[in-house]
Amino acid sequence: MRPGFFRREITSGSSAGKYKPRRKGGKGFAKTKKLTGRKRDERIAAYIFVTPAVVLLIAFLVVPMIYTAYFSVFRYQIMRPDAMKFIGIENYIELFQDKNFWQALKNTVYFTIIVVPFQCALALGLALLVSKKFRGVAIFRTMYFSPQLTSMVVISVLWSVLYNANPNTGLFNSILTSLGLDPISFLNDENTAMNSIIFMSAWQGAGYQMMIFLAGLQGIPRDQYEAASVDGATKFKQFLYITLPGLKGTIKYVIMITMIQAMKLFTQPYIMTQGGPKNSTKTLVYYIYSEGFQRGNFGYACSIAAVFFVIVVCMSMAMKKVTTSTE
C-alpha cells in the first residue's frame, strides 16, 4: 500500500479508526473519465460501421423472408396481381402432395450427400499437395484456384461441351472412343446426369476450400511433425494424428459452408440440363424458379421457398450438433 493513499480519521466517541480513501491530485479520476470517453467514441464508431451491414441484411434478407411467408398463403399469379386471393395453407397441402417437389428434394439431398465429402476430400488433398515447398508451387495454387474465379455460367457451358455425347465435339467421349469404348450420354441419361454435375461442381468449388485448408495447415506447428518423424511415425500416421486433429475446426467450417452451397444448387442444372432428363437434375431452387418465374405461380413458389428455408436451417443445426458432439 502506498503511503498517504489512505487517510485515517478518528471519529468522536469511537476508539476505532475509519479509513477514507483519498486520491492524489485527482489524476486517477481524470484518467478514468478519459478512458470512459474513449470507449464511448469507440462504441459510436462501431455502430457507424455496423449500421450499413445491418440495414443491408434487413433489406435483402429479413424483409424478403417476411414477404415470402406472407405470399405463401395466397394464390398469387405474377401476371395477375389484382387477382391475389388468401387461401391459407392450401399451397402447403398441395406442396406435400406434389411429386415434383419430392423429386426435387430427393435430387437436392442426393447432390448434397455426395458432393460435400467428395469436394472436401478433394480440397484437402490439393491443400496437402500445394503445401509442400517445391519449385513452381505458386503456379499450381493458381491453377487449382482459378476455376473459383470463373463464372459458374461459363464453366457450365464449357463442361456441357466436354460432356457432349458426340465424340467429334465432346472431349470425354472422344477419349472413350479412342480407347475402344462406347460413348456415354453424360447429360442425356437420367442415371448419369446428376453424377456428371456432381463431378463438375466438385472440380469448380474445390479451389476455394483448398485455400481454407491451406491456411489451416500453416497454423499447425512444424515441430510436431519433426518430433513425430524422430519417433518413427510414418506419413500416414502423421496425417492421422497431427494433421486431422489440427484441422478439426477448419474441417467443420468447410463442411458447413459446402453443405449450404450444395443445397442452393441451381446454375448447373439450369444451364446444362434444364432439370432433365425426366426431372433427374431438378433441384429445389430450380423448382422454385420454374414455378415462380416460368409458370407465374408466385404464391406456390413462395411456399416452396419457405419449406426450403426450414429444411436448410434444420440441416445446418443437425450438422452443427453432429460436429459439436465429436469434440
Q: pLDDT exceeding 90 applies to what percent of the chain? A: 54
Q: 326: pLDDT confidence band, cut at 50, 70 and 90?
A: low
Query: 3-class DSSP state for residue 279?
Result: coil
- DSSP state string for 173-212: HHHHHHTTPPP--TTTSTTTHHHHHHHHHHHHHHHHHHHH
Per-residue pLDDT tens digits for 28-72: 545 555 557 778 888 888 889 999 999 999 999 999 999 999 999
> Which pLDDT score is estimated for 2?
47
CATH code given to domain 98-325: 1.10.3720.10
CB 327 within 8 A of CB 97: no
Mean of the pLDDT values across residues 117-137? Answer: 87
Q: Rounded distance, CA 11 to CA 9, Å?
A: 6
* Residues whose CB falls within 8 Å of the CB of residue 212, separated by 6 or more in sequence, listed in order: 123, 250, 253, 254
Spatial CB neighbours of 91, under 8 Å, sequence gap ≥ 6: 72, 73, 75, 299, 300, 302, 303
CA-closest candidate to residue 95, choices 316, 313, 291, 276: 291
pTM summary value = 0.81
Q: Which residues, listed in sequence order, are joined to residue 95 by a DSSP beta bridge?
A: none
* Domain extents in the chain: 6-71, 98-325
Mean pLDDT of 170-187: 91
Which segments within the chain are labelled E, that is strand? Answer: 6-10, 17-21, 74-77, 80-86
CB 109, CB 284: distance < 8 Å: no
